[in-house]
Structure 1
Amino acid sequence: MTDDDFELDLSELTSAEDFLDYFGIQYQPAVVQVNRLHILQRFHDYLDQVDEMPDSVQAKWALYADRLQAAYQDFETSDARTEKVFRVFRMHEPRQVAIPLNDLMESRPHATRV
């Protein structure tokens, strides 16, 4: 298989099941049905963490298969809310905001200085 063949194969994959089948990863359809977009996004995130892609197609295929397996396993024992792959799941987390007291006092001209 050439690099072009690998890229062409990847471009033809359209679903999480297609990716899992292509890379020979056994999966539970119920897990994929509920988490398909999360699995693919996590797979993409894992690939983004790779500093340097291997030169050989076989090594690249093995790396992709490993990262997809890891992404699938993340959701085999967990769920989308816990894994927080998409930003929407992180939006309601509490945020700490610190405003110095002096900044507040400057906005109140008659307030006593600290």
Structure 2
Amino acid sequence: MSSCYKSSRTIDTTEILARLKKLSAAEEFFELLDVSFDPKVLDVSRLHIMKRMGQYLAEEDFSDVPEQVVAARARAMLERAYEDFATSSPLTQRVFKVLKDHDPARPSQPGHAFVPFHSILKRFGKE
């Protein structure tokens, strides 16, 4: 695995959550939290990784927690989210609603069955 951004430096934890909120590119999160990654994995799963990290962060209560602890938890959550997709695929993980709704392992819910458009047109052709 080729990895990017492996420095093992000390993370600047000053206002870490505010700084994370201002980031936009996935690579910026990895750089700020000093997490190494394989560009091939990130290219395929960047949105999924970031969404999963957001889910992990949403489960935490960071009120009255020292910045160093917040940074360590955020780093661990990014590593965990990355690992989810480094060892599995977005289709397997299904973090987005569109993928959850179209899970072939889950049967259709009553009242939400799919009706192909061509079957509706057949009815009108017979009249």
TM-score w.r.t. the length of structure 2 is: 0.67
Structure 1 residue aligned with 2:65, among 48, 55, 67? 55
Distance 2:85 2:77 in 1: 13
Structure 2 residue aligned with 1:66, among 76, 79, 89? 76
21-30 vs 11-20, which deviates more? 11-20
SS in 2 for 1:90: helix
Aligned residue number for residue 96 of structure 2: 86
Distance 1:68 1:11 in 2: 14
Given that 2:16 and 2:70 are in contact with CA atoms closer than 8 Å, whether structure 1 keeps it comes out as: no
Amino acid at match of 2:70: K
Distance 1:2 1:22 in 2: 9
SS in 1 for 2:70: helix
| C-alpha RMSD of the superposition | 2.0
In structure 1, the gaps of 5 or more residues are: 99-114
Distance 1:24 1:2 in 2: 11
Structure 2 residue aligned with 1:46, among 48, 51, 56? 56
Distance 1:47 1:8 in 2: 13
Structure 1 residue aligned with 2:34, among 24, 45, 51? 24
Aligned residue number for residue 121 of structure 2: none
TM-score w.r.t. the length of structure 1 is: 0.74
Aligned residue number for residue 85 of structure 2: 75
Consecutive aligned runs of 4 or more in structure 1 exceeding 6 Å deviation: none
Distance 2:102 2:20 in 1: 35
Q: Paired residues, what number?
A: 96
Question: How far 1:96 moved relative to its partner?
Answer: 4.6
Aligned residue number for residue 112 of structure 1: none
In structure 2, the gaps of 5 or more residues are: 1-11, 112-127
SS in 1 for 2:101: coil
